[in-house]
Amino acid sequence: MNALDTMKALSSSGEVKEFEPGTVIFRSGEPGDCMFGLLEGEVELSWNDSEGHERIKAGDVFGAGALVTQDHRRYGDARSVTACRLLVMNREKFLFAVQESPMFAIELLASIDQRLRQLKITDGRH
């Protein structure tokens, strides 16, 4: 299983949101109170005034920082590149997931680690 699979197992139908291409999902500086699992489509994350960016593909999760720090503010922007279906997980569900399935935390860390490694490779820093 991966982090998105665990999110799906704990979700209800009301937690899926759909976004048209080009829709802003969140902006830098906004309060963050949920994380996202990308069910379908592609999302672009950008930060540092668009100097850095990352493409999130179906199967990935993003925005988890909002659930592990108090009074979190989003670090960057998220925008749908294509039509997207996102699974939304709030802090309450996140804490439940970690308590009921401790492997969820490991899956989430593995997902973040893989994305960071990929960014490093595509950025030319080996």
Q: Which domains does the chain have, with CATH numbers?
A: 3-122 (2.60.120.10)
Q: State the pLDDT confidence band at 126, using cuts at 50, 70 and 90.
A: very low
What local confidence, expressed as pLDDT, does residue 101 receive?
Answer: 86
**Cβ–Cβ contacts within 10 Å for residue 27, how many?**
11
What local confidence, expressed as pLDDT, does residue 13 receive?
Answer: 61
Give per-residue pLDDT as tens, 80-121.
999 999 999 998 888 888 898 889 989 998 888 888 887 766
Give per-residue pLDDT as tens, 2-55.
888 888 887 776 689 999 999 999 999 999 999 999 999 999 999 876 567 899
What local confidence, expressed as pLDDT, does residue 35 receive?
Answer: 94
**Cβ–Cβ contacts within 10 Å for residue 11, how many?**
17
116 or 61, greater pLDDT: 61
pTM for the full model?
A: 0.85
